[in-house]
Structure 1
Amino acid sequence: MEHIKDIIYAASHGILDSLRGFFLIFTLDREIELQRSLKREHKNKSARRPQTSSSNSVKEKQEEPRILHRTLQCSLLNGGVFCLSIFAFNGIILPLIEALLTFSFSFRGQLNAAQWVWSWTSPVLSATFSTLWILPLFLLSKFVNCFWFQDIADAAYKYSRGRPQLLPSVSKMIADMLFSMVIQALFLVQAMVMGLLPIAVFNGLLSMLHMCLLYSLYSFEYRWFNEGWELPKRLTHIENHWPYFFGFGLPLAILTSMPSSTLVSGCVFSVLFPFFIVSGNEAQPTTKAKYVINLFANYPLRLFSPVVALANTIFNRTIGRSRSA
């Protein structure tokens, strides 16, 4: 019973930490600007060059992206353009074309013919719309989101922790990012497989647990990467402190599971994810509820171990063979 209370406490603490970004993101830009102005004043007093420092401040202000501005751009692209275009096509354009088709055939008393024509016209229109609009816009949004998410994470990290402490070599950074992408893709497949298990209720809960941990990894990975954490350390940290990270990823997992369409779910994720990046950057899971985290460090949940073993096997049989050849 005591362990259940500890799980609930850690999970609720993670939920509260995950929601902080929705409030902090509106004040971070002002605090970052205040922090920069204080640094400029300190430099002016020490160097006594107000003109040079002011010109540098203008240049810095132009180069540094604003967190709220990047968040609004993500919302506009993913929610305002991508998601609304899907709703407009399925909710307005297709019904309008169907109504016009039915109306034109009704004069001739050929309603059956109208239904037959619409049965093959609708899939053709949907396939054309998906090919010419949805797919290019989806790829564009994913490409642009990578840069915008990184800008938000870097700006938030510099404000709270200063200069990033990255991995020692470029090759190590590239290898870590590639391996992380493979692990995340395999873990997503594992989550889907868990949802297909023939066990009522339990399969949904197990799949939700996977998605919560995966979204927590997404949210914290920018911060941990800037702190120089390698992928094994990031995964072990989540597995050891799984109650907290389950609660942290729960709001985003619930909100993205509501839409029936996978594309709309992806839009919801892209709109909300910047807030969780800020939340992950400002959260302190290793100091808050310390006794709870130390308790569950003795009972890790090794959900990432199967995909890590599979990814190692894939890399050893592909890259390892090519190197030996």
Structure 2
Amino acid sequence: MESITSFSVSLIKGFVDSLRGVTVLLYLDKEINERALSRSPQTDADSKHKQKQPKVRQESKVLTRVLQSCILNGFIFLLSILVFEYVLLPAIKYLVMVIFGHDPGVAHNVWAWMQPFLLMTFRMIWVLPLFLLSKLVNSLWFQDIADSAYRHRRGRPQFMSSVSKIIADSLFSLLVQALFLVQSMLVSMLPLTYVGELLCLIHMCLLYSLYSFEYKWFNMGWELHKRLTFIESNWPYFVGFGLPLAVLTQIPQSYIISGCVFSIFFPVFILSGNEATPVVGSEYPLKLFSPVVAISNGMFRFVRQGAESVTQNR
């Protein structure tokens, strides 16, 4: 009974903490700007008296970056897809049916040819370039949001000891996250009613929690193994934390639309993760990341051995 209570408390605390970013967003810029003003540099006018230099206001851009992300991913990207699929395509279909109304069979044949052509053209000319552009721009904006929030709460980031270590950790993290996403897709195919879907949801909750907290942990100098172990050891809290974003992104059937939804709401979860204090002390660690970490280690080891053998042969 105590374990169930502890699990429930951790789950609910994680869920509530994940929503804190909404309120943080309303006052964070003001606090950052006020602190910047209060810490404006001072210089000695003479040996006895000090005069403050004119205060230079350094405007925080957290709210601006969040709004820019919403505009790019919501009003430009997502809205254009919805307008094309639910307004423009039905209108074109209606025109085809009107033009060839005398022969419904011809109308259906023409539309059966036009629809995939229009979809492919729209996706190649508009969706794919904008998707790649949004990924690049979002990564810069998300990093800007995370760094501003971290410096305000914790001061200067404590990066890892060397640039090579940072690069290796980042590459290994990307590989682990990609394999973990594949693992979540595989467990969703389990032929057990609701079990596969539940396991997939838990995977996505933990993955989105990792995304949200990784900015803070990286700035704290935590290596990937420490970040993953912390999530596995305190998984009830992180399941609750990632639950809102996991549910929101699973509602759309389209991967592209799901990505837009993620990009719209994710900045709020970055702020929530920066403010949150996770509940620790779970009795039963959930080692869901361990399989993909083992596979990633094997792949890196294989690549390193291959590179060493090529070097020796030269």
User: TM-score when scaled to structure 1?
Assistant: 0.91
Which residue does 2:142 correspond to in 1? Answer: 149
Aligned partner letter, 2:284: Y
Partner Cα distance (2:277, 2:75) in 1: 33
Q: 1:124 aligns with which of 117, 120, 140?
A: 117
Which residue does 2:96 correspond to in 1? Answer: 101
Partner Cα distance (1:119, 1:299) in 2: 54
Q: 1:320 aligns with which of 300, 305, 314?
A: 305
Partner Cα distance (1:135, 1:49) in 2: 56
Which residue does 1:91 correspond to in 2? Answer: 86
Trace 1:236-247 onto structure 2 (pairs within 5 A). 236-247=229-240
Q: Find out whether 1:195 has 2:188 as its counterpart.
A: yes
What's the offset of the Cα at 1:319?
2.8
Q: Find out whether 1:305 has 2:290 as its counterpart.
A: yes
What's the offset of the Cα at 1:262?
1.2
3-state SS of paired residue (2:285): coil
Which residue does 2:38 correspond to in 1? Answer: 38
Trace 1:167-206 onto structure 2 (pairs within 5 A). 167-206=160-199
Which residue does 1:8 correspond to in 2? Answer: 8
Q: Find out whether 1:260 has 2:260 as its counterpart.
A: no
Which residue does 1:111 correspond to in 2? Answer: 104
Q: 1:69 aligns with which of 61, 64, 73?
A: 64
Partner Cα distance (2:44, 2:143) in 1: 33
Which residue does 2:73 correspond to in 1? Answer: 78
Which residue does 1:134 correspond to in 2? Answer: 127
Deviations 1:178-221 (A, max 9, x none): 10000000000101111111111111111111000000000000
- Identical aligned residues as a percent: 51
User: TM-score when scaled to structure 2?
Assistant: 0.94
What's the offset of the Cα at 1:263?
0.9
What's the offset of the Cα at 1:46?
6.7
3-state SS of paired residue (1:75): helix
Which runs of no fewer than 5 residues in structure 1 stay unpaired?
none
Closer, same or farther: CA 46–259 of 1 in aligned 2, 3 Å: farther
What's the offset of the Cα at 1:163?
0.4
Q: 1:166 aligns with which of 140, 159, 169?
A: 159
Partner Cα distance (1:46, 1:6) in 2: 57
3-state SS of paired residue (2:248): helix
Partner Cα distance (2:13, 2:30) in 1: 27
Greater fraction helix: 1
3-state SS of paired residue (1:265): helix
Which residue does 1:225 correspond to in 2? Answer: 218
Partner Cα distance (1:269, 1:46) in 2: 50
Deviations 1:5-49 (A, max 9, x none): 111110000001100001111110001111111111xx3387745
Partner Cα distance (1:264, 1:318) in 2: 35
Which residue does 1:25 correspond to in 2? Answer: 25
3-state SS of paired residue (2:191): coil
Partner Cα distance (2:205, 2:123) in 1: 29
Which residue does 2:264 correspond to in 1? Answer: 271
Partner Cα distance (1:114, 1:313) in 2: 56
Partner Cα distance (2:33, 2:308) in 1: 50
Aligned partner letter, 1:125: L
Deviations 1:250-281 (A, max 9, x none): 11101111111111111000000000000000
Partner Cα distance (1:315, 1:118) in 2: 49
Deviations 1:83-111 (A, max 9, x none): 001101001111111111111112xx112
